[in-house]
Copies of this chain bind each other. A is one copy, B any other.
Amino acid sequence: MEQRISLITLGVADVARAKAFYQQLGWQGQEVEETVFFQAGGLAVVLWGRDKLADDAGIEELGTCAMTLAQNVRSRAEVDEVIATAAAAGATVTKPARETFYGGYAGYFADPDGHLWEIAWNPGFTLAEDGSLTVPDFNALD
């Protein structure tokens, strides 16, 4: 597993309220289907409804102050490899890798303290050679 982060997702009770807060801090992002993406250096900070995030991660409920980490990789096979490596190291696979609604392939594991990692192959998000991630221009995709 490479030593990098692609996305940090903050589970929020109210996406509009959370978006307004980060905008007041001066952050600029893009909202797509009640999900807000902020480019933050070589990764993305994402605001997403807590229930949707918990469901996506394959867990019943997020704890307080819930965030998840994600690493985007370069192929379906790499998703399987990283999740197998994590499981062998003692992680709990909360959601086995499967096809995603956006045409990718992803799964989740929890580390020994319950920190959730999504490992994803997402053909819509560009990964640079150095592993940095660029949020696409969603309007340009319409």
Interface residues of A (CB under 8 A from B): 1-5, 8, 10-14, 17-18, 21-22, 24-28, 38-43, 45, 50, 62-67, 69, 82, 85-86, 88-91, 110-116, 130-132
Copies in the complex: 2
> Which 9 A-B residue pairs are closest in the complex by CB-CB distance?
A63-B64, A24-B89, A63-B63, A1-B25, A4-B41, A63-B65, A65-B114, A12-B113, A4-B40
18 examples of A-B residue contacts, CB within 8 angstroms: A1-B26, A3-B39, A3-B40, A3-B45, A5-B40, A5-B41, A5-B45, A12-B113, A13-B112, A21-B112, A25-B86, A41-B131, A41-B132, A64-B64, A64-B114, A65-B113, A65-B116, A67-B115
Structural contact, A89 and B4, CB atoms closer than 8 A: no
